[in-house]
Structure 1
């Protein structure tokens, strides 16, 4: 997979399309909360297999953290290490910006995946968009 930081409106629309497919169509997150007030302040990432957009995420800097958000891979492309690849790309940007910690709110079904990447759970379960989540942090 080729991962790049979104640089054009076309790439941003492709990232939104991947997010809509995964979060709205597949996971039933309400469309009106998927795209939110933080989009303009975020660095967006898009992952391609060939010319096809298959992964997306966004990164914001909040307090002392690089905050990883909206990480998703199209269903047919999961299980191929693409999630790890996009996390690594995001963490590289966090480090390049001089931050030493990454933070994310993980769906509880993905908690084990993030633990394997070095994230520690620092909260109890909570609901976000009706889906159970936990907050996780990693020292970079």
Structure 2
């Protein structure tokens, strides 16, 4: 899988719609917010097919990684780890020192394998249990 920074927001939205809106029942208003136009977006490709995406919201020397998703057919293939490593590499290249994210509770072990550390209490985001996580780059 190749990972690239993209301006193709329509493709990112299509992936997020399939995973978050259609599969997980997140409302469109919650998923497609005003931060998209100011954020950096990453796409993961298998051949000519976009199969994963993540959004990077940069503020000073910190960034929040969000909207990380992988199409169902590509889960368990390493695509999630690849899109995350690509996103972290992009942040490092831009001088970002700290990456943060809000992980769905079931995905905590996935992010922990990438070096993220959970902190703070569990909370609901779009009705789904989450915890905040951080990684020093």
TM-score interval (norm. to shorter): over 0.9
Any runs of at least 4 consecutive aligned residues in structure 1 with deviations exceeding 4 A, and if so which? none
Give the gaps of 5 or more residues in structure 2: none
Q: CA deviation at 1:133?
A: 0.3
CA contact (8 A) 2:64 2:99 kept: yes
Cα distance in structure 2, aligned partners of 1:83 and 1:59? 15
Aligned pair 1:89/2:86, yes or no? Answer: yes
1:101-120 equivalences under 5 Å are 101-120=98-117
Give the gaps of 5 or more residues in structure 1: none
Compute the TM-score of the two structures, normalised by the length of structure 1.
0.93
Q: Partner of 2:15: helix, strand, or coil?
A: helix
Aligned counterpart, 2:43: 46
Q: CA deviation at 1:50?
A: 1.2
CA RMSD of aligned residues (A): 1.1
Aligned counterpart, 1:34: 31
Q: CA deviation at 1:63?
A: 5.1
Q: Deviations over 1:9-68 (max 9, x none)?
A: xx3211110000000000000011111010111001111111111111110113542110
Compute the TM-score of the two structures, normalised by the length of structure 2.
0.95
